[in-house]
Structures are given as structure tokens and as C-alpha cells.
Amino acid sequence: MNKALIIAVATTSLIVMTATDAFAWERHGTVTGSGGYSRSVTGSGSCSGGSCNNSRQVTGPGGYSRTRQGQVSSNPDGGWTRNGTITRRNGNQVNYEGSGSCSGGNCTYGGSRTGPYGTTTHSGGISR
């Protein structure tokens, strides 16, 4: 009887842990630039099912504030995609998107940002 109960509890716990792979995070800090100006940084996010949502706000001298909200998702082939929006203090928005993949210790990535002044692209690689 006790052995059957222990197995049933262990199996139920394993099923619950597998079904709830979500987690959340927060971060808070201060960044000081070369000019001695400090900026506070706060962020939060959550992940579930191979996708993470995140939000970050940076506030600097004079009330300068910038927010970023986005999402990063993993692909079945081991790569990732990301997209989101940055809103600057004047209300201008920049939309960004990108993707990348890794294989054998080498990673490549690329993407673009589109805002009120046009589109910029970037790409690169990192090796272990």
C-alpha cells in the first residue's frame, strides 16, 4: 500500500513538473556611462513552451526613458527568432526582428530595425 502511494505521488509530481515548464524573472540595476551619468534599468519577463516575453525600461538623467518589449522563440532546428518594439522618450518607435542558429560551437545571427528614419540591418557570428 505505501509503495503504491509513493509511486502514485512521484508520478503525479513528474506530470505536474512537466506540464508547468513556465518561469518568470525580474531584474533591477544601475548603469553608469563614461560621462558619469547613471541610468536605472528594470526588466521582467516570462518563458513557457519554448518562447519568452520580456520588457525592459531604462530611465536616465532628465527623465529620459526608453522601453523595449519583445519575444524570443526557439525553433525545432535549434535556432531562434526574436521580435519586438522599442519606444523612445519622444514616442518614436523602432520595430526589430532577427534570427540565429548555432552548430558545432559556431553561431550566426542577423536581423533588422525599422523606425522613423528607415531600416538598418545587422549580421554576424560568434565562435566558441
Structurally, the chain folds into a number of domains equal to: 1
Residue 12 maps to a domain: no
pTM confidence score: 0.68
Reading the chain (128 residues) residue by residue, the pLDDT tens digits are 444 333 333 333 333 333 345 788 899 999 888 888 899 999 999 999 889 999 999 998 888 899 999 999 998 888 999 999 999 988 899 999 999 998 888 999 999 999 999 999 999 998 87
Per-residue confidence (pLDDT) for residue 23, from 0 to 100: 84
Query: Long-range contact list for 41-50, CB < 8 A, 24+ apart?
Result: 46/22, 47/22, 47/23, 48/21, 48/22, 48/23, 49/21, 49/22, 50/74
Residue-number span of the structural domain to which 91 is assigned: 23-127
